[in-house]
Homo-oligomer: A and B are copies of this chain.
Amino acid sequence: MVVHVGVIGVGVMGADHARKLARVVSGAELVAVSDFAVDTAEAVAAELGARVHVDGHQLIIDPAVDAVVIATRDDTHADLVLAAMRAGKPVMCEKPLAPTAAECRELIATQTALGLPTELVAVGFMRRFDPSYLALRDRVRDAQLGAPLVVHCVSRTVHTYPGGDSASTITNSAIHELDIVPWLLDSPIVEVSWQHGRSSAHSGTRQDPQFYLLRTASDVLVTVELFLNARYGYDTRCEVVMETGTAALALPAALTVDAERRRGVDYPADWIPRYSDAYRIELQEWIDAIAGGRPSSLASAQDGLRASVVADALVESMNSGGAWVKVASG
């Protein structure tokens, strides 16, 4: 059985999803794309052999479309997910499910009210499919090194896009850490504290870097450095300190190069090479689950909400000068 997919929003990320669905995901066929920039949609459609819908809502109700990927601007997610729910079509929405926890709650309430299965809505927390994160979770679970005590996360990108503020660092970027840490430790985040020091000269109007302390229900202390204008490269780090040893994500590298008095490996400039495999595996699992009529292992709407309530608590801590803030129940 082939799953016919439509992709709404074919900017850098959506176009990448569209290409993967058209070319390297088994059992999927890309049939339609849509974008507020019609030219962009037409170019992607021509490249990959799909039809164009001017409007995402029309794509959703197109009978040729079995399942929908949403990769539009954050503030349009909720509306489109709702439309997909009403059409009864499986939907994978890029993170965040919605910019606020309130909107996430509303979506889940509608999903319940409509009697829709949980698996109908998936959220694109692709790190759950990254082979390194999976290997790290295996190490934590096998407990050979004892219980996890402390986790150090670092997430750095080359530069920010114009227009964000300090809160958007949390809701849009740190949200990945807020999802992956509970998944890694099998324990929800219950308390958070927002901290900062000097901001980079390149940070524009937002505080950058930011630093967070998180505490899980299992009392693991988690530290997170989020630095969006780190300039040097796209770099995700995570070290889990356990009772008799530690495990950390290795820096992925194809080559070691010796040149100009240095031995080095390259950093990617952005998430595309770093998480390409994770996105592919995530999409494959999503398609396989739809085709097989079974729940997928993608993050659910509930997972999307859980990350959002932690983000809300971090924003509250930021606004209150760094105090520890309890996380509301998801």
Asked whether B211 lies within 8 Å of A198 as measured between CB atoms, the reply is no
Asked whether B245 lies within 8 Å of A232 as measured between CB atoms, the reply is yes
Name the segment of A24-32, A111-119, A168-176, A308-316 touching the other chain.
A24-32
Contact of A244 among B221, B231, B267, B284 (CB under 8 A): B231
CB neighbours of A248 from chain B (8 A): 255-258
Name the segment of A6-14, A51-59, A64-72, A199-207 touching the other chain.
A199-207
Asked whether A201 lies within 8 Å of B147 as measured between CB atoms, the reply is yes
A314 to chain B, nearest CB (A): 16
Asked whether B251 lies within 8 Å of A263 as measured between CB atoms, the reply is yes
CB neighbours of A135 from chain B (8 A): 254-255
Question: Is A223's beta carbon under 8 Å from chain B?
Answer: yes
Contact of A265 among B24, B139, B243, B262 (CB under 8 A): B262
CB neighbours of A147 from chain B (8 A): 198, 201
Give bound CA distance, A227 to B240, whole Å: 13
Give bound CA distance, A222 to B225, whole Å: 11
Q: Contacts A26-B28, A233-B261, A262-B267 given; indicate if A221 touches B200 (C-beta within 8 A).
A: no
Asked whether B136 lies within 8 Å of A255 as measured between CB atoms, the reply is yes
Question: Is A167's beta carbon under 8 Å from chain B?
Answer: no
CB neighbours of A260 from chain B (8 A): 232, 245
Contact of A26 among B26, B196, B222, B256 (CB under 8 A): B26
Name the segment of A35-43, A86-94, A101-109, A212-220 touching the other chain.
A212-220
Number of residues on chain A facing chain B (CB within 8 A)? 78
Asked whether B259 lies within 8 Å of A200 as measured between CB atoms, the reply is no
Question: Is A274's beta carbon under 8 Å from chain B?
Answer: no
Residue on B nearest A135 in the bound complex, by CB:
B254
Number of copies: 4
CB neighbors of B among A124-170 (8 A):
131-132, 134-136, 139, 145-150, 152
Asked whether B197 lies within 8 Å of A150 as measured between CB atoms, the reply is yes
Give bound CA distance, A305 to B149, whole Å: 32
A261 to chain B, nearest CB (A): 5
Asked whether A267 lies within 8 Å of B256 as measured between CB atoms, the reply is no
Asked whether B261 lies within 8 Å of A246 as measured between CB atoms, the reply is no
Question: Is A241's beta carbon under 8 Å from chain B?
Answer: yes
Asked whether A250 lies within 8 Å of B254 as measured between CB atoms, the reply is yes
A83 to chain B, nearest CB (A): 28
Closest 6 CB pairs of A and B: A197-B221, A264-B264, A245-B259, A135-B254, A198-B219, A262-B264
14 additional contacts, CB 8 Å, given A135-B254, A149-B200? Answer: A23-B284, A148-B198, A149-B198, A149-B209, A211-B221, A223-B223, A223-B225, A230-B241, A232-B244, A245-B259, A248-B256, A249-B256, A262-B264, A263-B267
* Pairs across A and B, CB under 8 Å, 13 listed: A146-B201, A150-B227, A197-B220, A200-B243, A223-B225, A229-B243, A230-B245, A232-B245, A245-B260, A248-B255, A248-B258, A264-B265, A322-B324
